[in-house]
């Protein structure tokens, strides 16, 4: 099935849009501009846009319950963000021996743990890591990744899916929800280079993974059993970074894009680069898991 994403009118222009997530309590869409250190917010009922300035590069946000509205993975560390815009440092950035590293994509599991990856700003191979934050400390879960990116879990929460963009594949792990332990790492399926590099990822209620393709101008819906593409969402921007289901019925796919890394010619040819897109699809997402602050 083929879809064509539409611009969300009035959406801000991001240098490197990423990490869209539908807040299940506030019923609003959040996403970030990594380079500019901005957290964006959209109330789809009123079409009202708001933003929060983090003051440094920000890799991802996840919804939270308790003391904070969101948990933010920023250049200085993991932060708690309140509705009023107050930021609290919860734990310092871990890669102190790699000062040119930053957080990239991340997501919460069903137990409320925040999984967040890092990467080198100059994309040094194997310089990044994957961490898990449970509220006090960051635990190293996997070392030696290059571009830590999309994360999601199967509907039964027994399998974790993970993307290191550099590897052009989706990894699968057996996952123990109670402990957060991963095991039996394996390649779920390879992503052909002509599709574009795999970036951010989400999952639908049928267990299919929807992957944003950097350089591919599309989001593709993949069957995790056979690695076949079941749907394509064309996006009028080459650098598609991530996607998330949102809306009251979680049947609208919200898609972030980037201007970073594009030539002036491509920026002129695709003037909507960096903006937010959406499209209603024949699928429903799962409610985003929240961090318990």
Measured in whole angstroms, the distance separating CA 98 from the mean position of its chain's CA atoms is 23
- Show binding-site residues: 18, 102, 104, 149, 199
Q: Which one of the listed residues 95, 109, 164, 199 is annotated catalytic?
A: 199
Closest CA to 39 of 7, 16, 61, 23: 61
- Show binding-site residues for substrate: 102, 104
Closest CA to 178 of 147, 143, 134: 134
Instruction: Please indicate whether residue 199 is annotated as part of the active site.
Output: yes
Beta bridge partners of 144: none
Buried b (16+ CB within 10 A) or exposed e, 93-121: bbbeebeebbbbbbbbbeebbbbbbbbbe
Cα angle value 272/273/276 (rounded, 5°): 75
Closest CA to 260 of 16, 12, 79: 16
The position carrying tokens 């830590």 is 148
- Show binding-site residues for a divalent metal cation: 18, 149, 199
Residues that are catalytic: 199
């Amino acid at each position: 099935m083929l879809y064509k994403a539409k611009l969300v009118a009035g959406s801000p222009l991001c240098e490197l849009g990423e990490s869209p997530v539908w807040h299940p309590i506030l019923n609003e869409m959040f996403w970030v501009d990594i380079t500019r250190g901005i957290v964006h917010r959209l109330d789809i009922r009123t079409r009202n846009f708001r933003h929060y300035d983090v003051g440094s590069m920000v890799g991802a946000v996840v919804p939270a319950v308790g003391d904070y509205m969101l948990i933010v993975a920023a250049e200085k560390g993991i932060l708690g963000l309140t509705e009023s815009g107050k930021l609290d440092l919860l734990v310092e950035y871990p890669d102190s021996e790699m000062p040119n590293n930053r957080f990239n994509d991340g997501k919460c599991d069903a137990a409320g743990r925040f999984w967040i990856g890092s990467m080198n700003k100059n994309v040094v191979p194997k310089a990044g890591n994957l961490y898990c934050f449970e509220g006090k400390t960051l635990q190293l879960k996997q070392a030696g990744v290059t571009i830590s990116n999309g994360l999601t879990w199967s509907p039964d929460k027994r399998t974790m899916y993970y993307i290191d963009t550099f590897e052009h594949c989706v990894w699968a792990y057996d996952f123990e929800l109670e402990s957060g332990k991963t095991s039996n790492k394996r390649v779920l399926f390879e992503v052909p280079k002509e599709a574009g590099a795999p970036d951010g990822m989400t999952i639908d209620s049928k267990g299919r993974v929807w992957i944003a393709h950097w350089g591919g101008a599309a989001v593709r819906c993949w069957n995790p059993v056979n690695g076949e593409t079941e749907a394509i969402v064309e996006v009028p921007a080459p650098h598609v970074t991530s996607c998330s289901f949102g809306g009251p019925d979680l049947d609208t796919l919200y898609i972030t894009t980037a201007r970073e890394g594009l030539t002036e010619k491509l920026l002129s040819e695709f003037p909507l680069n960096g903006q937010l897109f959406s499209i209603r699809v024949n699928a429903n997402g799962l409610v985003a898991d929240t961090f318990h602050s």
